[in-house]
Amino acid sequence: MDTIALQESWGWLLPLCAAAYLLGSISSAILVCRLFGYPAPRTQGSSNPGATNVLRIGGKPAAALTLLGDVLKGTVPVLVAYGLGLSATAAALVGFCAFLGHLFPVFFQFRGGKGVATAFGLLFPLHWPSGLVAGAVWLLVFGVTRISSVASLLAFIAAPISLWFWLPTAFWPMAALTLIMVIRHRANLAKLLSGEELGFRGKR
């Protein structure tokens, strides 16, 4: 990582990371389901409080609102970090904290989602070409498999590889994010191997 840049931005980095974590801890899925009167997403479908599960529970309007909220949780902290003149390394760390907040929200007993939308939200402002690469991988894989978890994992395996070539100072925070995302999807991977993973080929 860029140690000098981190030292120069240290005064902003810690409070921004804390604020990003708290922002990430706001669960869009739970709040949207309460707003629309739907069952709690942690008790339905895949039990994941994310946009994909809200789509299964309540349909497109609720899912779109959830997706927007989750994306902004990643986008806003990175834009603020860049706006304050922080380095790409520092901005990536701030975005990573928002991602952790989504996964382990202090406001919801540290039981959060899997962070895919928030990860996309932070990746695009961090380095938009890598965001396009990850987005293209997601669209391609989902178009073939119709399985969101597979598309998401492959997209965020591609993301740090892209950063390694284009923005190497942001590689390690994104690599850590990808590793945690894979771990969070371990139940999906087990279902995939057993042929039980939920997809969107037909109505369920």
pTM given for the model: 0.88
pLDDT surpasses 70 at 197: no
Range of the domain at 99: 3-194
pLDDT (mean) for 10-39 = 91
Q: Which pair of tokens denotes residue 11?
A: 């005064």
Count of domains forming the chain: 1
Is 123 among the domain residues?
Answer: yes
pLDDT per residue over 157-188, tens digit each? 999 999 999 999 999 999 999 999 999 988 88
Q: Which pair of tokens denotes residue 173?
A: 């925070």
Is 203 among the domain residues?
Answer: no
SS3 45: coil
For residue 138, name the pLDDT band (cuts at 50, 70, 90): very high
To the nearest whole percent, how much of the chain has pLDDT over 90? Answer: 65
Is 201 among the domain residues?
Answer: no
Looking at beta carbons, which pairs linking 153-161 to residues 24 or more positions away fall under 8 Å?
153/181, 153/182, 153/185, 153/189, 155/120, 156/116, 156/119, 156/181, 158/133, 158/134, 159/119, 159/123, 159/130, 159/131, 159/133, 159/134
pLDDT per residue over 83-98, tens digit each? 999 999 999 999 999 9
* Cβ contact 159:174 at 8 Å: yes
Q: Which pair of tokens denotes residue 68?
A: 């927007």
pLDDT (mean) for 54-80 = 93
Is 19 among the domain residues?
Answer: yes
Is 74 among the domain residues?
Answer: yes
Cα 43 to Cα 12, 72, 147: the distances in Å are 38, 25, 20
Is 58 among the domain residues?
Answer: yes
Is 200 among the domain residues?
Answer: no
Size of the chain, expressed as the number of residues it contains:
204
pLDDT surpasses 60 at 200: no
Is 202 among the domain residues?
Answer: no
For residue 1, name the pLDDT band (cuts at 50, 70, 90): very low
For residue 202, name the pLDDT band (cuts at 50, 70, 90): very low
* Cβ contact 41:53 at 8 Å: yes
* Cβ contact 94:20 at 8 Å: yes
